Amino acid sequence: MTDLRTRARAWVVQDPDPRDRAEIEALISDEGDAARAELEDRFSGRLRFGTAGLRGRVGAGPNRMNRAVVRQTTAALVRWLDLHDPGARRSGVVVGCDARHRSAQLADETTAVLAGSGVPVRRLPDRVPTPLCAFAVRHFGAAAGVMITASHNPPQDNGYKLYLRDGAQVVPPVDREIEALVEEVGPLGDIPCADLPSPLVVDAGEEVADAYLRAVLVGTPDGSRPPRPLSVVYTPLHGVAGALFAEALRLGGYPPASVVAAQRDPDPDFPTVALPNPEEKGALDLALAQGRRLGADLVLAHDPDGDRLAAAVPDLTGAWRTLSGDELGTVLGAFVLEQVQAGRYPRRDTGATPLVAASIVSSSMLGRIAADAGVPFVATLTGFKWIARAADAVPGSRLVFGYEEALGYVVGDAVRDKDGIGAALALLSLAGELAARGSTLPGYLDALMRRYGVHRTAQRSVRAADPADKMARLRARPPREIGRIGVERTLDLREGAAWQDGMPCLPPADVLAFWLETGARVLVRPSGTEPKLKAYVEVVRPVADDDLGAASAASAAELERVTAALGPLLGS
C-alpha cells in the first residue's frame, strides 16, 4: 500500500485539475478496503488504445479519463506527428467533442496542449457528432483529428478517439508508438499549454457541417421515392446527432421526422434509458411507443455521438420489429450493390472498382451477395479503423459500403468511419425504393434469404475482470464441441491469419474462430472498450423448396442451442 500511495501522491503533484487532485487525496487518506481497491484500480495501469481509441470512466488517475491523461496523450501525439508527419505543424489538428460529462473540458485541454506546442487547431463547436470530426480531418487537410467521446458507453465514461491524416482511426503500430511516447512525457507541468482563446485556434463551424452534409448526400444511393412520404419517428437518445440529422433530412428533400421529445436534447446522464446504446433492450421503447401511436412507417435511432444507427419497422401484424445490426447491414449492402450493378452508384465515377466490406464478426451474407454481384468483398478485423481501410486490400478499388454488426455502417467514402447520419439517409432511400415497388424492409430481407440462405446471428457477452486470462484458457483447452455440435476447424488470429482466399492475411488480433460441423461459426474476442469477453455466432441454412419458414425455424433452434452453450464455455 505504501508504494501505491507513493505513486498516487506523485500523480497528485502533477495533476492539473483541482477536483481530480482532491479525489485522489481523499482516497489516499481513507484507510478503508473500498478506498484501497479503488486506488489500486485507478493506478493498476493506464488507459490504452482499444477498438476505438481510449475509453474509460471519468475520474482521477492514469486508468481514468481526465485532463492529466488527455494532456499526456496529446503531448505524445504532438511528438509522434513531429517524428512522422513533417507537415503537421502547418496542417494542424481538428478537435471535437460530444455532450458527455467533461467532454468540452477535455477538448479544451487537447486544444491547449496542441496550440501550446505550436500546432494549429480547427476547433469544432461543442456537442457535434463523431462523423463530422472524421470528415473534417480530410476536408481541412489536417494532420490528425481528436474527438472526445465514449460513443454508446455508460454515462460515467468518456474517451479520446484519434484520427490521422487519412481521416481513419489509428491502427497498430501507430497506437502503440503513441502509447510508448506517453511513457516518455515528462512532468505534466512542463508541457506547454496555450491560454484559450489562442491565435492558433480557429473555430470551425457551419462551413464544415454544410460540406459534410453535401458530401454525404452525394454519396447516398438515390432510390425511388414512394407515392407518399414515409412517416418516420426519430430519437438521438439524448445525444448530439439530432440537429445535423434534421438538416440532412431537409436538404435531402425528406419531411421532418417526429422526434421523441423526452430524448431530443443532449443530456450526459441519459435519464430515460438504462444504457445509451440502441442495441440494448429498452433503449428504443419511447421511440417504438411513439411509432405505434402515430402509425409510423419507420423508427430510427442514433447513439449519443451519432455514429451508429438502429431501425425498427412494423410487420404485417402491426407489431414492431427492430432490425439487428446484421439485418440492417445486409439490406443496406444489398441495396448499394443493386445500385452499383444498375450503374447508378457511385454517382461520381472515379474509375475505381466498387468494393464492400464487413468485419469478421458480422454475418457472412454480404460476402455472398457481393460475390453474386461480381463486386469485391473484404472481411476485416473488428473496428471501423480496419473497415475504412478495406480498399487497401484491392488496389484500384473504392469502398462504397462497409458495416459491423454493432450497428455501425458507412455508405460511400466521404467519411472514413461509421456514420449514422449517412446510413440513415441511405436507409430512407432504400425504404422509399421498396415502398415504390410495393415492398418493405422485412420483405426485402426475406427475398435475400430465399436466394442466399437464412443467415441468423447472435452475440453473447460475459463480463470478465481479466478477459486476457480467459482467452488464454480457451486457447490452452479449445472446445471439441459447442452445443453438442462438433468443432470442425479452429483458427487463432493471435499471430495473424489468412481469412479469405486471394486476400492479404488479417493482422494479429486476440480472436479465436471455431467452425462447427453444421457450418455454424463462433468467434470469441475480448471487448476493446469494456471488461468483457464477446462471442459472435452465425448459423446458415439454405432455403429448400422456397420454404423460408422451415429454414428460419431450424436456424433459430440451432442458434439458441449454440448460444446457450457459450455461457459455460466462456466461464459465466
**β-strand partners of 301:** 235, 310
User: Cα(71)–Cα(193) distance, rounded to whole angstroms?
Assistant: 9
**Catalytic residue status for 324:** no
User: Cα(263)–Cα(266) distance, rounded to whole angstroms?
Assistant: 8
Report DSSP letters for 420-463, one per residue.
HHHHHHHHHHHHHHHHHHT--HHHHHHHHHHHH-EEEEEEEEEE
CB atoms within 10 A of CB 554: 16
**β-strand partners of 302:** 309
Three-state SS annotation for 102-161: CHHHHHHHHHHHHHHCCCCEEECCCCCCHHHHHHHHHHCCCCEEEEECCCCCCCCEEEEE
The packing angle between helices 2-14 and 33-42, to 10°, is 60
Task: Identify which of 567, 536, 180, 487 has the alpha carbon closest to the alpha carbon of residue 381.
Answer: 536
The answer to whether the CB of 330 falls within 8 A of the CB of 448 is yes
Give me the catalytic one of 103, 151, 359, 364: 151
User: Cα(309)–Cα(234) distance, rounded to whole angstroms?
Assistant: 11
Local structure of residue 501 (DSSP, 8 states): T
The answer to whether the CB of 472 falls within 8 A of the CB of 321 is no
Within its chain, how far is the Cα of 150 from the centroid?
Answer: 10
- Tell me how long the chain is: 572
Local structure of residue 216 (DSSP, 8 states): H
483 is written with which cell numbers? 452445443
Q: Which residues are catalytic?
A: 151
